[in-house]
Each structure stands twice: as C-alpha cells, then as structure tokens.
C-alpha cells in the first residue's frame, strides 16, 4: 500500500482525541465524521485508550483510518495492531514501531524534526511525516526541510495549529498536505457543540487554503 493510496480518499486532517474516554468516544467521533473527518487517533495516554480504539475500529474501521497516537514502544504497537487499528502515530522515530506498523499494513505517521529523522522515516515506509512539534521546526525550518525531501513526501505539521486560515495557510503554501489537530479541536470536557464548531472551523479553514 502506498501513501497516496492510503490518503487519496481522506480529508488530511488527523483528529487527536487526547483524554477521550470509552463511554464518549463514539459520540465524539460521530460529530467529527459528520463534519468530514476520516482520520482519528486516540493517544495511548488517554484513559483506557485501547478500549476506545477497539470501539472506533468496530464502528468505523472499514471506512476510515482509526488508531493510536503516542505509540512509543514495540509492545504498545503490538497492542494497538491487535485492536484491528489501521493507523499508528508516534511522537518520535522508533524503527521497531515503524516496522511493526508498516508490516501490519497500517498508515504510519512518525514524529520527526530533523532531515535525518525524516529521511529514515521515509526509508522505513512512513505514510506521512508528522512534524512535531512544529514550533521547533517553524515555517523557515519546514521550508528548508521540504526543499530537500522527495516531492512525494507527505508532511503534516502538528502542535499548536489553530482553526484559522492564518494558522494553516503558511504551512500549506510551503507544502504541508495536512495537519494533526489536538486540543484546539478536542479536549476532555468539551460540549458536543464546541467540538462541532471546532471541527467545522478546521475543515472550512483547511479547504480555504
């Protein structure tokens, strides 16, 4: 499976549901899906994250990219893959995690900052590069990195991206194909209306870019 195949039918915005609980995860996901989201990750430092991921896989796994974030060890990767997830997102570049995820056919987004990490991730079969935290890279750093990466490399800035054209367009102009969206999209305790409004703002802003 190639990266273009994996992402061709998806809105390239990764919804990061940090802190979501199993008894609310389907409701939150339904709100996001209704607004156009098709890529959803539950970070493993969320309460009972594997249960939430299993529930999402059962509900949406045949249509969307569903899986885990903050996958930092091979043991965690194996646990995530066992849920039936098809998405693995990491904050760092771990070769064992990458190999397990790629071999399982998962869309894989490792966290990278440097050119060495980025090229290694692509060599290992990354679907896309999670530029995290983007605040460390910045627009100038991203521009320099993008200038040496293969044109086919799919870059996703993550960390502090706001639901506005002003926040997203500078990175899109440089070559970002999508974004990972965290607490400005969802955080524990938000109302359904807040989540819906945030989702609408992100989708609208991204399409305007």
Which CATH number do you get for residue 50?
3.20.20.70
DSSP result, 126-162: -SSEEE-SHHHHHHHHHHHHHHHS-TT--EEEBSS--
**Tens-place pLDDT, residues 3-20:** 444 577 899 999 999 999
Give me the catalytic one of 6, 35, 54, 130: 130
Residues 6+ apart with CB under 8 A from 138: none
Domain that holds residue 201: 3-208
**Tens-place pLDDT, residues 96-119:** 999 999 999 999 999 999 999 999
Tell me how long the chain is: 209
**Tens-place pLDDT, residues 30-64:** 999 999 999 999 999 999 999 999 999 999 999 99
DSSP result, the chain: --HHHHHTTS-SEEEE-TT--HHHHHHHHHHHHHTT--EEEEETTSTTHHHHHHHHHHHHTTTSEEEEE---SHHHHHHHHHTT--EEE-SS--HHHHHHHHHTT-EEE-EE-SHHHHHHHHHTT-SSEEE-SHHHHHHHHHHHHHHHS-TT--EEEBSS--SSHHHHHHHHHHT---EEE-TTT--TT--HHHHHHHHHHHHHHHHH-
Is 41 known to be catalytic? yes
- Is pTM beyond 0.75 here? yes
Residue 121 Cα distances to 20, 80, 113, 191, angstroms = 28, 20, 11, 37
Q: Give me the chain's average pLDDT, please.
A: 95
Give me the catalytic one of 6, 35, 41, 54: 41
Give the total number of structural domains in the chain.
1
Q: Supply the pLDDT for residue 178.
A: 97
Coil, helix or strand for 50?
Answer: helix
Q: Supply the pLDDT for residue 6.
A: 56
**Tens-place pLDDT, residues 167-185:** 999 999 999 999 999 999 9
Displacement of CA 44 from its chain's centroid (Å)? 13
Q: Supply the pLDDT for residue 8.
A: 76
Which band of pLDDT confidence, cut at 50, 70 and 90, is reported for residue 1? very low
């Amino acid at each position: 499976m190639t990266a273009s195949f994996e992402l061709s039918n998806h809105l390239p915005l990764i919804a990061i549901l940090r802190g979501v609980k199993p008894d609310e995860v389907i409701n939150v996901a339904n709100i996001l899906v209704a607004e156009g989201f098709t890529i959803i990750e539950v970070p493993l430092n969320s309460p009972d994250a594997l249960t939430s991921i299993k529930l999402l896989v059962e509900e949406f796994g045949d249509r969307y990219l569903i899986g885990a974030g903050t996958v930092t060890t091979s043991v965690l990767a194996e646990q995530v893959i066992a849920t039936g997830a098809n998405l693995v997102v990491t904050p760092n570049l771990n070769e064992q995690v990458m190999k397990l995820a790629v071999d399982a056919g998962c869309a894989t987004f490792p966290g990278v900052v440097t050119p060495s990490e980025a090229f290694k991730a692509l060599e290992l079969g990354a679907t896309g590069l999670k530029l995290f935290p983007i605040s460390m890279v910045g627009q100038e750093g991203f521009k320099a990195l993008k200038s040496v990466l293969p044109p086919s490399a799919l870059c996703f800035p993550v960390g502090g991206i706001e639901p506005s054209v002003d926040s997203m367009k500078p990175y899109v102009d440089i070559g970002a194909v999508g974004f990972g969206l965290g607490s400005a999209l969802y955080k524990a305790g938000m109302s359904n209306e807040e989540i819906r409004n945030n989702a609408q703002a992100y989708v609208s802003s991204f399409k305007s870019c």
